[in-house]
Structure 1
Amino acid sequence: MNARLWIPMLLLTTGQALSQGFAGLGTDAEGFAVPAPDPQFAFPADHGPHPSYRIEWWYLTATLTGADGRDYGIQWTLFRSALRPEEAEGWDAAQLWMGHAGVTTEDAHFYAERLGRGGVGQAGVTPDPFEAWIDDWAMISTAPTGADALSALELTARGADFSYDLDLRATGPLVFHGDEGYSVKSADGQASYYYSQPFYEVSGRLTLPDGPTEVTGSAWLDREWSSQPLSADQNGWDWFSLQFADGARLMGFGLRSATRPTYTSATWIGPDGSATAYPDGALRLTPLRTESVSGRDVPVEWRMELAARDIDVETVALNPQSWMGTSFPYWEGPIRFSGSHEGRGYLEMTGNE
């Protein structure tokens, strides 16, 4: 679908002023469903779309190593945004879809964007059998009967200068953030439903302008939906996923505000998948070095501290120029960290001016 037609419709989903939270995610949610405490998830249905909520995503990142010995990062994301809470068919359908795919190397960053409309087969998600797609990009379950649909996936995407075809196998359970999946995002109480599958082992093929390479590594899938996940004064976020040598994981984010301190949240994930949530203030995020990226000063090195777990690490981007110049631009790329612990992970930063 032509972006010049799609973007004005996206603006309608976010209200009249994009200043109300990053990309309008702080606008009023009147008419849409809103998350409530004590969620009762049901699978496989909740792996699929929730059209009564305004915004939703299926968001996968992976840290990979090639047979050539080089490090890589890949991203595959499908966003759903609703024009209105009522459903319709065909071109009158209320659901808009946006796909982002990216590949990062030490010296290059490639990305592509796809835009689509629900109701006409161009993009969508089915929970059983699970499949998420936009055009010829796809995330398809290959899980055996009786297993969780997200426990095994085939992932494909391509852009002008890259493509990948990856197999993912989960070695641990789904993880629920916040209070059993109810993830608070601000002191005002805005929230989302949020869970992850952070335990994928990955293998497959990555093709770049200099040719194909076989890759292996680890991946992390986030599932999240809401209708007003930000306060009106929150203007961006910094999201981290870290993978530790002993198999543990850490998710942490800071939501920046124009008028108040950054709101933080974290989830410590044990090697067995047990999750411990940490409230606002427990995680400290300190930018250490900025770099000019696409005309913006972006913090590409960070200090992360979670005293409750004796974590004090510094992160470094594989490629500081990992800019996604998409309809709503942001920074997204693989990182390494060292200090009290060492490992690899991923970083997403939005709203950086």
Structure 2
Amino acid sequence: MKIKCLLWAFLLLLGACDKVPEPQESFAGLGSDAADFAQVVPGKVFSFPEDHGPHAGFRIEWWYITANLKDEQGNLFGVQWTLFRNALKAGPTQAGWHDSTLWLGHAAVTSATHHYAAERYARGGVGQAGVQAVPFSAWIDDWNFATRPGAASALADMQLKANGAQFAYDLHLTSNRPLVLQGEGGYSRKSDQGQASYYYSQPFFSAKGSVSIDGKAYQVTGPAWLDREWSSQPLTASQTGWDWFSLHLDRGEQLMLFRVRQTDGASYMTGTWIDHEGRTQTLHNADIQLTPLETTDIDGRKIPTRWSLKIPGKQLDITTQAVNPNAWMNLSIPYWEGPVRFEGGVGYLEMTGY
């Protein structure tokens, strides 16, 4: 799903001159009313490369990459890179410091023994952060995700870079496989009340490059996953957080699934089964059995870091285990995100609202 926190505290800090809605009960205010913004409706016809770029009429949007990596000694690593665009108010974007867009970047590196995360913020209109569709480039300061010169298409040949006080990575991502439209042709429902996002992925990236932790560099390879989503109100006011998985199966399939938790104890759950050629099948609540098995105490919270996942219709019965159970994103609004492993594959897990 990858609906990340839009961080109302940052909006108040960076956009104090604009009117900002009060936080609602939903996680990070993502269920607050957005009637003045563009709405997500079924039937959108996606257009590429244009839809790789920003969608100014919508309130929230992100470009998100994870990679499950391994060095020559078999050590496991995870990498995350995310750029968020948030519009403080509806209407046309203005030039310079009158631009009402805020940008937020998250980056992290995880190993079995270490987890480091960093964040950056920028106001739109001054070149510090942004996204362009052709040639594709997404950046905030010196963190960037961009098409390499001479690439055959926008997302076929990419470079991904970020760094923090105790980590850095520089990865080359390639794919000749098709993009995947999540949900109903890219219309991804988040509730029974109609909340939704436009959502597509590139789950077939292969990554190669370097990861540095505490000054030590590792040469790594492995699968990577891109998610693209935009919306204006992706949650209801009573949805408090989510558990989101992206999984690479050794047998060639890919799997995305999520559950959005509600204040009444119920949840909305769905997913997408992706075969080795990129063909998709939507999974519904009745198709998925998802059960937390073990928790880790982090920052006064119990975070489920070991899960049972069964999809009987696909003969899938696995137990996912966090590579590092302490992969806590201790940022302005904290959440858990890190690589997972299971017999027959690897993947990524994000959990918010705990």
* TM-score (ref. length: structure 1): 0.94
| C-alpha RMSD over aligned residues | 1.8
Q: Is the 8 A contact 2:12 2:20 kept in 1?
A: no
Tell me the CA shift for residue 296 of structure 1: 1.1
Equivalent residues in 2 for 1:264-283, closer than 5 Å = 264-283=269-288
Equivalent-residue separation in structure 1 for 2:272 and 2:68 (angstroms): 20
Equivalent-residue separation in structure 2 for 1:5 and 1:303 (angstroms): 36
Residue 345 of structure 1, aligned match among 341, 344, 347: 347
- Cα distance change of structure 1 residues 153 and 7 upon mapping to structure 2, 3 Å threshold: farther
Could you list the runs of 5+ residues in structure 1 that have no partner in the other structure?
none
Tell me the CA shift for residue 150 of structure 1: 1.2
Residue 100 of structure 1, aligned match among 90, 95, 106: 106
Q: Is the 8 A contact 2:245 2:257 kept in 1?
A: yes
Tell me the CA shift for residue 229 of structure 1: 0.4
Equivalent residues in 2 for 1:85-96, closer than 5 Å = 85-86=90-91, 87-96=93-102
Q: Is the 8 A contact 1:68 1:213 kept in 2?
A: no
* TM-score (ref. length: structure 2): 0.93
Is 2:27 the counterpart of 1:22? yes
- 3-state SS of the aligned residue for 1:35? coil
1:235-277 per-residue CA deviation (whole Å, 9 max, x = no partner) reads 0000001111121100000000002521001100000111111
Is 2:115 the counterpart of 1:109? yes
What is the aligned partner in structure 2 of residue 302 from structure 1? 307
Is 2:82 the counterpart of 1:80? no
Equivalent residues in 2 for 1:177-326, closer than 5 Å = 177-259=182-264, 261-326=266-331
Equivalent residues in 2 for 1:34-45, closer than 5 Å = 34-45=39-50
Tell me the CA shift for residue 209 of structure 1: 1.2
Equivalent-residue separation in structure 2 for 1:233 and 1:56 (angstroms): 21
What is the aligned partner in structure 2 of residue 133 from structure 1? 139
What is the aligned partner in structure 2 of residue 118 from structure 1? 124
- Cα distance change of structure 1 residues 5 and 226 upon mapping to structure 2, 3 Å threshold: closer
Equivalent-residue separation in structure 1 for 2:303 and 2:19 (angstroms): 28
Tell me the CA shift for residue 210 of structure 1: 4.6
What is the aligned partner in structure 2 of residue 170 from structure 1? 175
Tell me the CA shift for residue 5 of structure 1: 6.8
Q: Is the 8 A contact 1:6 1:116 kept in 2?
A: no
Q: Which amino acid aligns with 1:125?
A: V
Equivalent residues in 2 for 1:39-54, closer than 5 Å = 39-54=44-59
Q: Is the 8 A contact 2:11 2:88 kept in 1?
A: no
Could you list the runs of 5+ residues in structure 2 that have no partner in the other structure?
1-7
Equivalent-residue separation in structure 2 for 1:54 and 1:6 (angstroms): 12
Runs of 4+ in 1 over 4 A off after TM superposition: 3-7, 9-14
What is the aligned partner in structure 2 of residue 159 from structure 1? 164
Q: Is the 8 A contact 2:242 2:353 kept in 1?
A: yes
